[in-house]
A and B are shown apart, each in its own frame.
Chain A
Amino acid sequence: MATMVDYKAEKATWCPGCGDFGVLNALQKACVNLGLEPEQVVVVSGIGCSGKISQHFGGYGLHALHGRSLPAAQAVKLANRHLTVIAAGGDGDGFGIGMGHFIHAMRRNIDITYVVMDNHIYGLTTGQASPTSDVGAKTKTSPAGTVEQPIAPLQLALAQNCSFVAQGFSGNIKQLVSLIERAIQHKGFSFVNVFSPCVTFNKVNTYEFYKEHLVNLDDDPTYDPRDRVAALRRVAEANNILVGVIYEDPDRPSFEESLRGYPAEPLVRQDIALQAADYAALLETFR
């Protein structure tokens, strides 16, 4: 059984106190708790501070293009269904340049987990407005305050009927570990949005801010994550500032289960060479 030591990779280059440390830690811990060997896990990340997580994780990684972690991650999984595949990136990467892929990944429901490190800012490019920046947020590209409405990731996912939706906070590692574990175990596409404070460029959405305002669904034994309409209402009431498993539909067939001819054995293990009988049958279709 792998331990945290087996996941130890290069020391992360994030700023001290960065929320992404917590996400990395929680992701590694979740994999350890689920008994996953590091070589069975692939982290496909986008570009930005958060994108560096694939290099710090300690498994296999594909540090993909800005906004394109999801298309690559979905195919990594289809090519080898025995792998555990995590797509990861930030709010700019996933909800800005890569937004289209997010919607379609939810439609497709391939069995991967998407972790977004949401800090409401572009950090690596030193502090510009992001798609989740609050209205009025003063940044280098919005000196007078952002005038655009922020993306609402949870409502978006619920509206698109994503089969697993959760939100966590990198200031609450224990809960985040459990959310990621459940997301990985979910059969189909799972989405975990994580409030991951940027300590350098965002002085508003801080650890203190979240500690003060977050509603924790774990504290509400009556909350039913199977009820999508109730989930939408709850998210709206909390104005997105809540954590826990928001919604899950464990019965939805995954893409892999629904796809005609998709083999039980990983594609990567198939013998690719065609035999004489194959050619005979194929050539017959050209007569």
Chain B
Amino acid sequence: MGSEVGWKVGGKQGEGIDSTGEIYAIALHRMGYYVFTYRHFMSLIKGGHTNYKIRAADHVLRHHGDDVHVLVAFDQTTIDVNWPELVDGGIVIYDSSSFQAKKPDDRDVHLLGVPLTEIAKEAGNPIMKNMVAIGVSAAINELPPEEFRPVVQDKFGRKGQQVVEANMTALSRGYAYFQERSRVRFPLPAKPDLQGKDHLYASGNQATGFGALAGGCRLLAAYPITPATEIMYWVLQHFPKYGGVVLQAEDEIAAINMAIGANFSGVRAMTSTSGPGFSLMMEALGLAGMSETPVVIVDVQRSGPSTGLPTKTEQSDLNEAVYGTHGEIPRIVLTPRTVEECFLLTAEAFNLADHYQCPVIVLSDLYLGMSYQSIDGFPVQAVRYDRGKLLSEEELAQLAKSGYQRYDASVADGISPRALPGQKHGRYVALGNEHNGTGLEVEDQETRVNQMRKRQRKLAGFQHFTGVSVEGPDNAPYALVGFGSTWGGLEEARAALAEAGLTVKHIHFSRVWPFPEAEFHAAMDGVRLALVTELNATGQLKQLIRQQAGYHDRLHSCLKFNGDPISLREIVDSAYQTFPMGVFN
């Protein structure tokens, strides 16, 4: 077998599909493999089709993969829906205690009925059919049942040793049943050498929460919303140990205003949300920009517009992040490409917010946020602290002699130093009205223009380690271009294209605003055609590039907006259609 296996379990929502996938994924991870998971679910609690995909390999994975080798089906719908992903020669394990499976067509796929519920019943409880399925999968993937014990222990230990043993029995019986009856096997590759590697298992949302804590955030105000709520869960679990506060706000408007209030007081604070909540935050985004109060907003994008597809992924909030709110404010928009960057860029967002005294938006999405994956550690050494221009009481006392001006428009870089409530000699009012240097509401034209220029000046010539990354040969005539979570898929597609003889580079944005213009021009050097791949219907990144950098005749779009993450095949096919094979090479 090859160097990887695609496994999927599916059934009705509420049947324990998620926990089956989770147990299998964590077990594979702890055995030393690299996994990447993707949850397909619906916005309801019971019923509807749900599935959990695991791709496992001996190297780091950045995409859930196109292929399924092993499908565990608890109903016929699972077979029908996932049939196209099954490879020729793949195997479907279905619960023959509850239905008789039918092939949608006559492709060469093994359909094998296993009485999962029956075996579970014999082992003590029909609810353990999921553990029987894991046992069967272990047999197909040639994994010894005992290797699952630590995960089973973790999962069921709280319920007593008896429950742990019953589940292990169910698992072993499923294993034995398959061993005796079938020869179909999809063995995993040899375990990779993990020496010197910090083999971790995390989702983008967890990494975002971790990044916030590491970055010094001590107040999260948020309203529950899929797919961002897991950030809140992680933070709730860990913040109290560090004196941090989590506020469940009454709505997203309250959430962002709370985050602004805490930042005004000098505490690093953020809010996390998804599209609908982000829309509600637009007015307050302007307040942060106008009052020059730092704030960090994480938008885990989902399919819009309006309520859209609440449990499906998309990258369609780019315009809103870059342009949203009435009037004009300075802002920074970061687009992490990986779980590791969810950590590092969220931590860094707090430095940028403090340094530039403006809102910083971290644009993640459901795919990156909710997919658990194995990584080689978090870049904790790269975390730094820059509180920006904060004044001490001594400095304020000095400044008080000539009159401290919180919004002094004469500063060259536009960033005027902050005082914090409680400090002597620093009293001022932060406000959303246009104001003069001391923070008084004024409406005269000269002050207005000076203050607008001051705020806009803050990001002039912005330089930062985020921006544009380039993979592949410098002189490639073709480029795949994307932002944020599509990095893994595009990188893998680039490698596949290179193997097929198509020289392509991969240009990717980890920051879209301030637009990294110079870096993008450098990356585009020699590129004759670029395929801008993004998960939205109108090509928002392509529009932004055209507006900021040009290349009107060279940019083509690969768009997807049906709710599913983009597949490797879709990128590769789109590349073949866009890039003339052998013409420019």
Q: Are B429 and A61 in contact (CB under 8 A)?
A: yes
CB neighbours of A268 from chain B (8 A) = 265-267, 420, 422
Of B234-242, B450-458, B472-480, the one with at least 4 CB within 8 A of chain A: B234-242
Minimum distance in angstroms from A261 CB to a CB of chain B: 3
Among A59-109, those with CB < 8 Å from B are: 59-65, 68, 70-76, 78-80, 82-83, 100-101, 103-104
Counting CB contacts under 8 A, is A58 at the interface? yes
- B10 within 8 Å of A by Cβ? no
Which of chain B's residues 21-70 have a Cβ closer than 8 Å to chain A? 30
Find out whether the CB atom of B427 lies under 8 angstroms from the CB atom of A64. no
Interface residues of B in 424-454 (CB under 8 A from A): 424-433, 439-441
- Residue B262 CB within 8 A of the other chain: yes
B216 on the interface (CB 8 Å rule)? Answer: yes
A83 contacts across to B, CB distance below 8 A: 265, 421-422
Q: Which residue of B lies closest to A260 (CB)?
A: B240
* Residues of B360-415 whose CB lies within 8 A of A: 377-378, 380, 383, 385
Collect the chain B residues with CB atoms within 8 Å of residue A270's CB. 218, 242-243
- Are A62 and B213 touching (Cβ within 8 A)? no
Which of B218, B238, B378, B429 makes the CB contact (< 8 A) with A267?
B218
**A263 contacts the other chain (CB 8 A):** yes
Contact A55 B247 (CB under 8 A): no
B269 within 8 A of A: yes
The reply to whether A287 and B199 contact each other, CB–CB distance below 8 Å, is yes
Contacts of B218 in A (CB 8 A): 267, 270, 272
Across the interface, do B267 and A267 meet the contact criterion of CB distance under 8 Å? Answer: yes
Q: Which residue of B lies closest to A78 (CB)?
A: B245
Beyond the given pairs A68-B257, A267-B267, A270-B218, 9 more chain A to chain B contacts, judged by CB atoms under 8 angstroms and listed by A's residue number, are A55-B441, A60-B422, A63-B432, A267-B219, A267-B245, A272-B268, A274-B380, A283-B378, A286-B206
Instruction: Assess the A274–B214 pair: CB atoms within 8 A.
Output: yes
The answer to whether A71 and B257 touch across the interface, beta carbons within 8 angstroms, is yes
Q: Which of B238, B260, B383, B433 has the most CB of A within 10 A?
A: B260
Q: How far is the CA of A267 from the CA of B245 in the complex (A)?
A: 9
- Which of the segments B248-256, B301-309, B329-337, B539-547 contacts the partner chain? B248-256
Contact residues in B for A61 (Cβ distance below 8 Å): 428-431, 439
Binding site for B on A (CB under 8 A): 10, 37-40, 42, 44, 52, 54-55, 58-65, 68, 70-76, 78-80, 82-83, 100-101, 103-104, 259-263, 267-268, 270, 272-274, 278-279, 282-283, 285-287
Closest to B201 in A: A286
| Contact yes or no, B385 A60, CB < 8 A | no
Q: With A74-B261, A104-B250, A263-B243 given, is the CB distance from A62 to B427 under 8 Å? A: no
**B250 with A259: CB separation less than 8 A:** no
Q: Which residues of A contact B377 (CB under 8 A)?
A: 283
Q: Which of A40, A54, A100, A267 meets B250, CB within 8 Å? A: A100
Bound-state CA distance A80–B291 (Å) is 19
Known contacts A100-B250, A282-B213, A282-B238; A62 and B262 CB within 8 A of each other: no
Q: What is the minimal beta-carbon distance from B540 to any residue of chain A, in angstroms?
A: 27
Q: Which residues of A contact B430 (CB under 8 A)?
A: 61-63
- B287 in the interface, Cβ–Cβ < 8 Å? yes
Q: Number of B interface residues, CB 8 Å?
A: 68
Which residue of the partner chain, among A75, A82, A263, contacts B258 with CB atoms under 8 Å? A75
B88 within 8 A of A: no
Q: Is the CB of B429 within 8 A of A60?
A: yes
User: Which of B254, B257, B383 neighbours the largest number of chain A CB atoms within 10 Å of its CB?
Assistant: B257
A274-B213 contact in complex given A52-B441, A267-B219, A287-B200, C-beta closer than 8 Å? yes
Closest-CB distance, A29 to chain B (whole angstroms): 18
CB-CB under 8 A for A80 and B245, given A10-B440, A75-B262: no
Interface: B264 (CB within 8 A): yes
Best-buried of A37, A68, A279 by chain B (most CB within 10 Å): A68
Q: Which residues on A sit within 8 Å (CB–CB) of B241?
A: 261
Question: Is B221 part of the contact surface with A, judged by Cβ < 8 Å?
Answer: yes
CB < 8 Å neighbour of B253 from A68, A82, A262, A278: A68
The answer to whether A72 touches B257 (Cβ under 8 A) is yes
B217 to chain A: closest residue by CB = A272
Q: Which residues of B contact A54 (CB under 8 A)?
A: 429, 431
B245 and A262 form a contact (CB under 8 A): yes
Query: Chain A residue with minimal CB distance to B374?
Result: A286
Whose C-beta in chain B lies nearest to the C-beta of A270?
Answer: B243
CA distance A74 to B269 in the complex (A): 13
Q: Are B432 and A76 in contact (CB under 8 A)?
A: no
B259 at the interface (CB under 8 A from A): yes
Kindly identify which residue among A63, A259, A261 contacts B429, using a CB–CB cutoff of 8 Å.
A63
